[in-house]
Amino acid sequence: MFNRDTKQARIDTLIGKASRVHGDLEFAGGLHLDGTIAGKVRADPIAGSSLSISETGSIEGNVEADNVMLNGTVRGDILARERIVLGATARVQGNVYYGVIEMTLGAQIMGKLTRVSEKGADPVPEATPGNLA
């Protein structure tokens, strides 16, 4: 009846718990964050990019990726073009733009939720990367 995607997310880059990054970060493929990033995080616009943020991970800046799995904290807007999964410990202070959203009891969002149009069509004007300043 329900079809869950049980496939494990690909991890090409790992930022450890004791690591702190100051400045914008662009990545390709999969990024897993256990540490802290103070700056924008953006995936190259290739299909299948994924960002996973653990309970200890945090980002102070806007986030843009195809798939986002959040268990930590984001202070900024999130654009998840395909899917966003918010775990029980997820905390967002900003707007969330998504294709599909999955949210566990306990997740907190202090901002607006906006569904973007189908892939290949134009996203909601507010959610375009240039406006995620």
Q: What is the pTM of this model?
A: 0.82
Would residue 87 count as lying in a domain?
A: yes
List own/partner pairs for 71-75 with CB under 8 A and 24 or more apart: 72/33
- Judged against a pLDDT cut of 60, whether residue 125 lies above it is answered with no
- Judged against a pLDDT cut of 70, whether residue 69 lies above it is answered with yes
Q: How many CB atoms lie within 10 A of CB 6?
A: 5
Residue 118 belongs to what domain range? 13-123
Would residue 79 count as lying in a domain?
A: yes
* Confidence (pLDDT) at 12: 86
- The Cα–Cα gap between 35 and 105 comes to 24
Would residue 1 count as lying in a domain?
A: no
The 10s digit of each residue's pLDDT in 33-51 is 999 999 999 998 877 899 9
The 10s digit of each residue's pLDDT in 18-34 is 999 999 999 999 999 99
As for how many domains the chain has, the answer is 1
Angle value at C-alpha 41, between 114 and 93, nearest 5 degrees: 45
Would residue 90 count as lying in a domain?
A: yes
Q: Cβ(76)–Cβ(59) under 8 Å? A: yes
